[in-house]
Chain A
Amino acid sequence: GENVEQHPSTLSVQEGDSAVIKCTYSDSASNYFPWYKQELGKGPQLIIDIRSNVGEKKDQRIAVTLNKTAKHFSLHITETQPEDSAVYFCAASNDYKLSFGAGTTVTVRA
């Protein structure tokens, strides 16, 4: 089955700097790659997603890139702010099963 690995597990950045989280997947049939943000006491919230026919997608300060050949995708957060502090999960789906990475705890230092 699909195996999604996510790195790093924790990330501390200075406010205003960029944060990058990387994920790799094993199933070449995976075609949908969402990213979720989970704040303390809340459920995961979809923040951006990308499909396999697109190499990059951007939404304000967040962007996701996908390299199908290497089977990896990344989340980029620019100009980080304190409210970006949260746990971020990547996921990969092959139509039939959505598999999550283990999560990255991002802390933005003021």
Chain B
Amino acid sequence: DSGVTQTPKHLITATGQRVTLRCSPRSGDLSVYWYQQSLDQGLQFLIQYYNGEERAKGNILERFSAQQFPDLHSELNLSSLELGDSALYFCASSAQGRDNSPLHFGNGTRLTVT
């Protein structure tokens, strides 16, 4: 168990809808990362937060947004959903905000858009 908790585990929704994915980092970790993994695809970096502030942005669509709250949990909001947004969404946390510290991943949220 990595200590990173993601909810829900599964989400099925229709095109055009909006969903919120939630992540609780490991105790003591200040940094949260979001990744997208489509079928047979690698890990695509979306966004990183450190202690409540946005630290880095990757290939995140404008329809997607995220935030990290004062208690350090994070939420990823996906809106105007399209079929192509169906994927596994992973949250990871690390103790520091620098990318050369170990990342610990949650077990992901599987999003299916119908």
Contact = CB atoms under 8 A, between A and B. Distances in A.
Do A and B pair up? The answer is yes
Interface of A: 31-32, 34, 36, 41-46, 49, 51, 89, 93-98, 100-103
B42 A100 contact: yes
15 contacts: A31-B100, A32-B100, A32-B101, A34-B102, A43-B90, A44-B43, A44-B105, A46-B102, A89-B43, A94-B99, A97-B99, A98-B45, A98-B100, A100-B45, A102-B42
A12 B107 CA distance: 25
B75 to A, nearest CB: 18
Contacts of A44: 43, 90, 105
B99 A93 contact: yes
A95 to B, nearest CB: 5
B103 interface: yes
Contacts of A89: 42-43
Nearest to A33: B100
Interface in B11-30: none
